[in-house]
């Protein structure tokens, strides 16, 4: 009887272990579904669970209740920070709560808000409301992993704010310290010849400057002397200038000259507002074509000219844009090669020919002057 009782005990206890194991397996499987198959609808059979557990909520994907959650933010699997994200129930399904993005959060992700529909963007600004990332564009998707509390947004490169090569945040630009400068150039000449009077002349050029915050005072004057006419003074330029960073321009007031890029340079007394190429990054000065294309997967994009590779970058799936090629005065067609993650390659050619004063798309160069032509003596 003892042996039979032992066998009977094993038979009775075995289903209990299987039930607990099965329950653990089911819950683990549910967790995986939440993280990786948010949009898939899955039906579970709860008949073999020991207790009455309602798993119907898990069949619709993310079972996270609506509310505010502190999560890690990723864009194309790259960490962008951590922040509070509001989860709201889907209107078509009250069980599923999905992340809702405010305009500030969208900007934090590095998405170009200027590409958002103007009416939607204005609505987000005025009401401080939020929107599903897919409502902005079908090219944008967001996935939430409840096990790691991480939101990963998949976005084509064309939707992301990019910093061109050589970019420095204007907020980090330094106006320098208050300073006074003086440069001079002096030359003297004397000649004596028998039977005639001696001849002498002197020349002194002064270039002075005073820097205070963003303002620059510049002066240039010339002193001439000879033994026939004595001293004579000419002021060639005296002006006050400063940079206008949002316009990538400089403001000049006083006696100065025009830049002479298109027409001959002339002196003036007045005010001039002109674009300043020095405020642009090296990769944005001069002309180079903008390259656009589409990658099917995470791809390596390279640009070659005359067999030499001049540019290379990686892009996520979707449309991409390359607008920071360094200018090349020699011209010549560009070969663009896209190497996909699956090993396939496809390429296309971009025509490149540069002429004088040709500008990149979206850039401008101008000079406005108001005043009197010619500098009074």
Segment 148-159, tens digit of pLDDT: 999 999 999 889
- Is the pLDDT at 29 greater than 50? The verdict is no
Q: Would residue 293 count as lying in a domain?
A: yes
Q: Are 276 and 221 members of one domain?
A: yes
pTM score, whole prediction: 0.62
Residue 115 and residue 191 share a domain? no
Residue 42, domain member (yes or no): no
The predicted structure's pLDDT at residue 328: 76
294 and 237 in a common domain: no
* 220 shares its domain with 272: yes
Give the pLDDT mean for 48-73.
72
Q: How confident is residue 7, by pLDDT bands cut at 50, 70 and 90?
A: very low
Q: Select from 130, 162, 194 the last residue of a domain.
A: 162
Long-range CB pairs of 304-307 (<8 Å, 24+ gap) are 304/334, 304/335, 304/337, 305/332, 305/333, 305/334, 305/335, 305/352, 306/332
> Would you say residue 31 has pLDDT above 50?
no
Q: Mean per-residue pLDDT for 283-287?
A: 84
Indicate whether 187 and 219 sit together in one domain: yes
pLDDT digits (tens, 9 = 90+) for 62-101: 577 888 899 999 998 888 888 889 988 876 666 678 899 9
What tens digit of pLDDT does each residue of 322-342 get? 988 888 767 788 999 999 999
Residue 275 and residue 213 share a domain: yes
Pair 75, 151 in one domain? yes
What gap in Å lies between CA 259 and CA 255, rounded to an integer?
Answer: 13
Asked if pLDDT for residue 51 goes beyond 90, the answer is no
Here the contacts of 193-201 (C-beta below 8 Å, separation 24 or greater) are: 197/227, 198/227, 199/226, 199/227, 200/226, 200/227, 201/225, 201/226, 201/227
Residue 183 belongs to a domain: yes
Check whether residue 256 and residue 303 sit in a common domain: no
- The number of beta carbons lying within 10 Å of the beta carbon of residue 224 is 15
User: Is 34 domain-assigned?
Assistant: no
For residue 215, is pLDDT > 90? yes
- Answer whether residue 132 shows pLDDT above 70: yes
Q: In what order do the strands lie in the sheet with 345-350?
A: 308-315, 299-305, 334-339, 345-350
Whole-angstrom Cα distance, residue 300 to residue 307? 17
Instruction: Among 103, 132, 162, identify where a domain stops.
Output: 162
Would you state the pLDDT for residue 152? 93
Within a domain: 59: no
Q: Residue 306: which CATH number?
A: 2.60.40.3110
Number of domains in the chain: 3
> The domain containing residue 214 runs over which residues?
179-280+366-373
Whether 109 is covered by a domain: the verdict is yes
pLDDT class for 181, splitting at 50, 70, 90?
Answer: very high
Residues contacting 331, CB < 8 A, separation 6+: 352, 353, 354
CATH, residue 143: 3.10.20.410
- For residue 345, what pLDDT band results from cuts at 50, 70 and 90? very high
Supply the mean pLDDT for the chain.
81
**Percentage of the residues of the chain whose pLDDT score is greater than 70:** 80
Are 138 and 220 contained in the same domain? Answer: no
**125 lies in some domain:** yes
Q: Which one is predicted more confidently, 351 or 61?
A: 351
What's the confidence (pLDDT) of residue 95?
Answer: 64
Average pLDDT estimate for 250-258: 93
Do 296 and 240 share a structural domain? no
Checking if the pLDDT of 13 tops 60, the result is no
Q: How far apart are CA 239 and CA 174, in angstroms?
A: 22
307 inside domain: yes
Of 129, 151, 127, nearest to 141 (Cα)?
151
Do residues 66 and 95 lie in contact, with contact meaning Cβ atoms separated by under 8 Å?
no
Q: Which one of 162, 196, 231 terminates a domain?
A: 162
* 95 and 128 housed in the same domain: yes
Shared domain check, 188 and 266? yes
């Amino acid at each position: 009887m003892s042996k039979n009782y032992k066998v009977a005990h094993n038979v009775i206890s075995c289903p209990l272990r299987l039930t607990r194991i099965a329950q653990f397996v089911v819950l683990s499987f549910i967790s995986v579904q939440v993280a990786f198959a948010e949009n898939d609808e899955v039906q579970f059979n709860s008949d073999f669970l020991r207790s009455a557990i309602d798993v119907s909520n898990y069949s619709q994907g993310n079972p996270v209740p609506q509310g505010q959650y502190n999560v890690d933010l990723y864009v194309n699997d790259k960490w962008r920070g951590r922040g509070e994200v509001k989860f709201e129930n889907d209107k078509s399904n009250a069980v599923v709560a999905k992340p809702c993005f405010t305009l500030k959060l969208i900007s934090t992700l590095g998405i170009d808000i200027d590409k958002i529909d103007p009416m939607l963007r204005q609505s987000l600004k005025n009401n401080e409301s939020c929107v599903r990332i897919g409502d902005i564009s079908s090219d944008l998707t967001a996935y939430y992993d409840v096990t790691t509390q991480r939101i990963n947004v998949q976005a084509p490169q064309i939707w992301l704010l990019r910093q061109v090569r050589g970019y420095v945040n204007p907020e980090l630009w330094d106006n320098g310290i208050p300073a006074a400068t003086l440069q001079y150039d002096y030359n003297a000449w004397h000649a004596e010849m028998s039977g005639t009077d001696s001849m002498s002349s002197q020349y002194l050029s002064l270039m002075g400057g005073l820097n205070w915050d963003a303002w620059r005072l510049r002066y240039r004057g010339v002193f001439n002397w000879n033994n026939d006419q004595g001293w004579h003074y000419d002021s060639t330029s005296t002006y006050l200038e400063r940079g206008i960073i949002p316009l990538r321009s400089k403001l000049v007031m006083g006696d100065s000259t025009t830049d002479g890029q298109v027409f001959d340079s002339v002196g003036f007394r007045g005010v001039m507002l002109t674009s300043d190429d020095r405020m642009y990054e090296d990769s944005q000065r001069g002309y180079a074509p903008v390259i656009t294309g589409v990658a099917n997967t995470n791809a390596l994009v390279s640009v070659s000219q005359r067999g030499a590779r001049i540019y290379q970058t990686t892009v996520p799936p979707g449309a991409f844009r390359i607008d920071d090629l360094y200018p090349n005065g020699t011209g010549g067609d560009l070969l663009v090669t896209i190497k996909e993650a699956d090993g396939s390659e496809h390429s296309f050619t971009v025509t490149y020919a540069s002429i004088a004063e040709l500008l990149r798309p979206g850039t401008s160069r101008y000079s406005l002057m108001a005043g009197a032509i010619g500098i009074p003596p």
